[in-house]
Structure formats: C-alpha cells, structure tokens
C-alpha cells in the first residue's frame, strides 16, 4: 500500500510567542537550543521578547545569526559545528524558508555527522531526528512542514535538495505577528508560491483525493486572504490565514509534489536570480492552459475558486485559456506582481533544462520540448 499524508510535526498557532515557545521547550525538556535566525529577524521585537523570556527561565541558548537567503553548504556545516561545540539539544529556526531549510540541515548534520552535501545523494537518514522547532516568518515555502531542504552549491551555482521524512520539524509554531513586517513584494512572491504549491500538487500525477481536498482549501485561502495581507499587511487575520495556508502547502507537496510551474521556476529563477514565488507565478498561466487538456475538471474547480464565470460548454482549450486569464488578473491586477522583464528568446533557450528538471515528471501529461517551449514562450505574460 502506498499510504500518504503522514504528519509528524506538532503544529500550533500562537499569539503569545514567548509563552508558547517556552512551553514547547519544557514539553520536550529541551534546555540548550541553538537559535538559528538571520541578522534582520534578530532585530524583531517579538523575537527579542521571546529571547528575554528564555533567559529569565534559565534556558541557556546559543545564537547563530549567519543564515543568508538561498543558504550555501558552508552555512549549514558551520551551524552544525556550533551546535555540536555547544552541546545543544534542540534548534529553534526563526525565519523564512532559507532559515528553516538551513536549520533542518544543521539538525541532520549535528545528529548524523558528515557534511550536508553528502546527504544530497549518498547518505541516508534512517532514524527520526527530533529537536527542530520551526517558526516561519514568511508565508510561502511551507518548509516548516516539508520533508525537503534546498541548499546552494556556490561553486557550481546550483540549488540542490535533500529529502527526508525523518528530518521534518518536531514542532511548528505559527506566529502571525512575525509576518506583519513582510514588505509588499515579499508578501506577493511568497503568497504566490503557496498558490503554485497547491495548484501543482492538486494536478500532479501523485495527487490523491485527500491531497486534493487540502489543496482546494489552500487555493481558497490564498484567493480570499492574500490580497488583504498584501494591501493591509497589519491585518492579523489575513496574516494568520496565509501562514496556515503556507504550512498546509508544505504538507501537500510532501505528498502530491509540484510539477512544471516549479520546474520552470527553478530553472529560470536560478538563471536570473528571481524571487522563487515570482519565478513560479510567471509560469503558471501557461501551465494552467496545458494542464486543462489533461485535467479539465480540476482546472474548472480552480476557476470556481477564483470566482470566474465559466460556461458549461467550453472546450478544454477554452477552459484553460479562461482560467489562465483569471489567474493572471488575480496575480497582476489584484495583487500587483511586478511585470517580468526577461527576454523571451533567452527564456525559451532553457527548454531542454526544464524538460529534464526532476519535478517535471510529476506533470499529468507528457512533458515534451514542444509543450515546454510553448509555456516558456508565454513566460511572464
Ligand atoms: N523546504 C522546501 O520545501 C522549500 C520549498 C520552496 C523553497 N524553499 C527554499 O526557501 C528559500 C526561500 O524562502 P522564503 O521565500 O521564505 O524567503 P527567505 O527565507 O529566503 O527570506 C527572504 C528575505 O526575507 C526576509 N524576511 C523573512 N521574514 C521576514 C519578515 N517577517 N519581515 C521582513 N523580512 C523578512 C529575510 O530576512 C530575507 O532577507 C529558498 O532557499 C528556497 O529554495 C524551500
Ligand atoms: Fe515553491
């Protein structure tokens, strides 16, 4: 049997981070956490209040604030050294996908040895690794509930993934107040990443009826609450809904996977250094159009979630075009994503790389050069 939808992390939503973090540490009797964070978030008043609370409770934490976006191997290995030297017993990751991914890597290396790059292909993890408390500050990657972590090989300029169900977070604390400081552009790109996760896991050939139900809800939450999070960033209800949607998205892609939107996002994004969510969102209209030919019922359901009025007698091709147009309206007019300024011919020249990207095989149709070329032709449009 191919059982899916395992969920091993204990998840809570908190409006009192200091109290709930301390309680979480006490639940597992953790006394010496590594605080893994970036230098910007270390200035956050919510974070500082929590660190004061830990100090007062005699929790003797160690701070590692050197994590940078798209973390390289060296940052993970250095963090693991610090963890081991200080004999830490847990790791509190406060940040976006980059901090949480790097922290999962630190946890793996600290417990299982070696260096993080050895886990990309050769080294396997055969025992549950506890101790990771993930506190996301963006609402996008879903890294807090994901079994993947992405690290960068700076020499080869390549982003590589380590996958392990044994290394998922032990606890996830969702604190909407931490997302309030996200600027508009970051809120849009990370929010569109959530939509892409749900749209792709929903239509991937790994999807299941249970994954589908979760994805429908995620897309509904993004459609309803991302505009408020973007235009009224102080609205805590909208921030909370997006945080929950993002976390569920991480869970959904553990089980349903992503497909062409992310394959294109990875290849084009890495080449032109685009924000991950933007790189995927520029590809989605073309992916929606092609997916409508294989999965018309699901694409019609996405159109319903986007509150489009879709006549019953549309051909699959027309349906794809209408839903792609509706998504574009949401992305560009309602949210205000910045226009894509890339040269079309250069983007189309990446066709072969996209065809061979590892997630492309999850698409619900055969991924040919012709199909990918046509999607890249419309990239950003
Ligand atoms: N593990 C997974 O399954 C998975 C999935 C997709 C992407 N990723 C990886 O996640 C990373 C991207 O993560 P991300 O999109 O969350 O961004 P990020 O973690 O790279 O952070 C981007 C920037 O936003 C800032 N930031 C974070 N929270 C903030 C806040 N509340 N207010 C103001 N600024 C804030 C950070 O300081 C940083 O400068 C990439 O490395 C990507 O490859 C992982
Ligand atoms: Fe993503």
- Is residue 219 within 6 Å of ligand 1 at its C-beta? no
Ligand with the closest atom to the CA of 250: 1
Q: Whose CA is nearest to atom 39 of ligand 1?
A: 69
Does 7 score more than 90 pLDDT?
Answer: no
Whether the full predicted model's pTM is greater than 0.85, yes or no, is: yes
Nearest C-alpha neighbor of 145 from the set 102, 178, 104 = 104
- 265 in contact with ligand 1, CB cutoff 6 A: no
The answer to which of 155-169, 231-245, 280-294, 299-313 has the lowest mean pLDDT is 155-169
- Per residue in 174-218, pLDDT (tens digit) is 999 999 999 999 999 999 999 999 999 999 999 999 999 999 999
Residue nearest atom 10 of ligand 1, based on CA coordinates: 97
Q: Which ligand is nearest to the CA of 135?
A: 1
Residue 97 CA, ligand 1 centroid: distance in Å: 4
* pLDDT tops 80 at residue 4: no
Q: What is the C-alpha radius of gyration for the chain, rounded to an integer number of angstroms?
A: 20
Q: Which pLDDT belongs to residue 253? A: 93
What is the Å distance from ligand 2's center to 105 Cα?
18
CA 256 to centroid of ligand 2, rounded, Å: 13
* pLDDT bucket at 132, cuts 50 / 70 / 90: very high
Closest ligand 1 atom to Cα of 275: 15
Here the contacts of 150-156 (C-beta below 8 Å, separation 24 or greater) are 150/70, 150/97, 150/101, 151/71, 151/72, 151/73, 151/76, 151/101, 151/102, 151/105, 151/116, 151/117, 151/120, 152/70, 152/71, 152/72, 152/73, 153/72, 153/73, 153/117, 154/72, 154/73, 154/74
């Amino acid at each position: 049997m191919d059982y899916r939808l395992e969920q091993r992390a204990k998840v809570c939503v908190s409006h009192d981070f200091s109290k709930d973090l301390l309680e979480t540490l006490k639940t597992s009797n953790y006394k010496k956490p590594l605080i893994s964070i970036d230098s910007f978030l270390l200035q956050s008043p919510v974070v500082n209040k929590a660190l004061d609370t830990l100090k007062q409770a005699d929790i003797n934490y160690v701070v590692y604030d050197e994590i940078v976006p798209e973390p390289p191997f060296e940052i993970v290995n250095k963090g693991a050294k610090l963890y081991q030297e200080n004999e830490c017993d847990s790791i509190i990751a406060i940040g976006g996908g980059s901090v949480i991914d790097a922290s999962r890597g630190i946890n793996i290396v600290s417990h299982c040895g070696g260096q993080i790059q050895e886990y990309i292909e050769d080294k396997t993890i055969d025992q549950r690794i506890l101790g990771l408390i993930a506190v996301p500050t963006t609402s996008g990657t879903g890294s807090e509930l994901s079994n993947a972590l992405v690290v960068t090989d700076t020499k080869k300029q390549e982003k590589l993934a380590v996958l392990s169900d044994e290394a998922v977070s032990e606890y996830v604390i969702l604190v909407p107040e931490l997302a309030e400081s996200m600027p508009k552009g970051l809120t849009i790109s990370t929010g569109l990443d959530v939509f892409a996760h749900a749209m792709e896991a929903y239509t991937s050939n790994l999807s299941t009826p249970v994954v589908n139900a979760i994805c429908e809800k995620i897309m509904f939450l993004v459609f309803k609450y991302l505009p408020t999070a973007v235009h009224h960033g102080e609205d805590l209800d909208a921030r909370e809904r997006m945080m929950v949607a993002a976390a569920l998205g991480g869970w959904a892609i553990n089980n349903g996977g992503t497909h062409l939107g992310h394959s294109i996002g990875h290849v084009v994004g890495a080449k032109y250094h685009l924000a991950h969510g933007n790189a995927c969102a520029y590809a989605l209209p073309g992916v929606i159009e092609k997916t409508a030919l294989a999965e018309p019922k699901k694409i019609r359901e996405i159109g319903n979630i986007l509150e489009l009025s879709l006549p019953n007698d549309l051909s699959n091709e027309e349906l794809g075009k209408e839903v792609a147009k509706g998504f574009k309206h949401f992305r560009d007019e309602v949210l205000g994503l910045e226009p894509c300024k890339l040269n079309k011919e250069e983007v189309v020249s990446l066709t072969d790389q996209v065809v061979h990207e590892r997630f492309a095989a999850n698409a619900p149709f055969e991924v040919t050069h012709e199909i990918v070329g046509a999607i890249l032709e419309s990239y950003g449009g």
